[in-house]
């Protein structure tokens, strides 16, 4: 179990950069950033997978390719579109607050599929995590609806709920798939998902660039400039480190840990994200934010304690 915890925390650490890289690429639209990220992720994945020809591709079962295509859709495209909708029609703090519930959803949904601990024992740790998320984010949400109307907030809420459900579904079923197919290495699986993500990214590029004709300006990339170089550095970080490496680490963790325990540990993504944000903004967290962080950490520690108790009782 210890090795699984290490892989989970490492995955959350590299995913934490996702919270600050968009600020580094503030001059580019969300669609441009995500397409750049997924194109890099897909290109790197293709280069790694096909570096010795197409023999390996023929060795992968068709079912694995289909599942990789579905997982890429849920974990990247649907998740991202939901996040964009939440930020655009509601607010970024609301998105962080709702997506921060993913550890709870994953733990509950995973436990529903494979009963590993009692739901009653999960209530207290989950409540601590939720309380911490509220303390960190609730002060930033515009409850007066002066920026966006109530209808827009509801639409944004729907988008972020789609993102939450899509990611939770992916996390549980991806872990189950890897445990049932131990012959597929974690490196190959993260690479397969990257190749399938490239397929969806190209489709999104065509949709936004040529059909909808918005949020995607190709003229920015027709000549080399400092902005182009900055964009390239940012999307390489997102595509290689946050996407490929993060996916690989998460897949490794999925082999060793049950979903009911992986879920609470996903909160470290938010915690590392906050750490990066505070560093980027050169500030210390407020007292309320510190209380929120301590509460979330307490929820994670309680989850570990509950899981170990259940294991001892099972023995």
Lowest-confidence segment of 28-37, 69-78, 264-273 by average pLDDT: 264-273
Read off the pLDDT of residues 289-300 as tens digits, 9 standing for 90 and up.
888 888 888 887
Task: Say what the pLDDT of residue 215 is.
Answer: 67
The whole-angstrom separation of Cα 87 and Cα 96 is 9
Does 114 have pLDDT greater than 70?
Answer: no
Segment holding 135, helix H or strand E: helix 119-137
Q: What is the mean pLDDT of residues 120-127?
A: 79
Q: Which residue has the tokens 């950033």?
A: 33
Read off the pLDDT of residues 212-271 as tens digits, 9 standing for 90 and up.
677 677 777 777 888 888 999 999 998 999 889 998 998 888 888 776 667 677 778 878
Give me the sign of the Cα torsion angle 175, 102, 168, 216: negative
- For the chain, the average pLDDT equals 81
Higher pLDDT, 65 or 123: 65
pTM, to two decimals: 0.79
Task: Say what the pLDDT of residue 144 is.
Answer: 65
Q: What is the mean pLDDT of residues 141-154?
A: 71
Task: Say what the pLDDT of residue 241 is.
Answer: 92
The whole-angstrom separation of Cα 265 and Cα 303 is 9
């Amino acid at each position: 179990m210890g090795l699984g915890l290490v892989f989970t925390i490492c995955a959350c650490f590299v995913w934490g950069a996702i919270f600050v890289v968009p600020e580094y690429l503030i001059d580019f639209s969300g669609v441009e950033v995500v397409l750049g990220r997924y194109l890099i992720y897909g290109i790197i994945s293709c280069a790694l997978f096909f570096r010795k020809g197409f023999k390996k591709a023929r060795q992968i079962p068709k079912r694995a390719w289909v599942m990789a295509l579905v997982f890429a859709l849920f974990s990247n495209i649907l998740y991202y579109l939901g996040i964009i909708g939440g930020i655009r029609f509601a607010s970024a703090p609301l998105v962080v607050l709702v997506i921060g519930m993913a550890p709870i959803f994953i733990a509950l949904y995973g436990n529903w599929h494979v009963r590993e601990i009692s739901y009653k024992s999960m209530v207290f740790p989950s409540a601590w995590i939720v309380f911490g998320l509220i303390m960190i984010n609730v002060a930033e949400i515009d409850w007066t609806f002066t920026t966006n109307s109530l209808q827009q907030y509801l639409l944004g809420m729907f988008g972020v709920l789609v993102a939450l459900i899509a990611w939770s579904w992916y996390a549980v079923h991806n872990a189950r798939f890897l445990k049932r197919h131990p012959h597929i290495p974690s490196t190959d699986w993260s690479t397969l998902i990257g190749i399938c993500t490239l397929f969806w990214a190209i489709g999104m590029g065509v949709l936004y660039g040529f059909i909808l004709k918005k949020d995607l300006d190709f003229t920015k990339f027709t000549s080399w400039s400092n902005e182009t170089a900055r964009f390239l550095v940012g999307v390489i970080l997102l595509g290689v480190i946050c996407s490929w490496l993060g996916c690989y680490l998460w897949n490794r963790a999925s082999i060793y840990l049950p979903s009911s325990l992986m879920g609470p540990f996903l909160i470290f993504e938010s915690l590392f994200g906050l750490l990066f944000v505070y560093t980027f903004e050169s500030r210390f967290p407020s007292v309320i934010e510190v209380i929120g962080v301590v509460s979330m950490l307490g929820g994670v520690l309680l989850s570990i304690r509950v899981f170990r108790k259940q294991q001892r009782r099972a023995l």
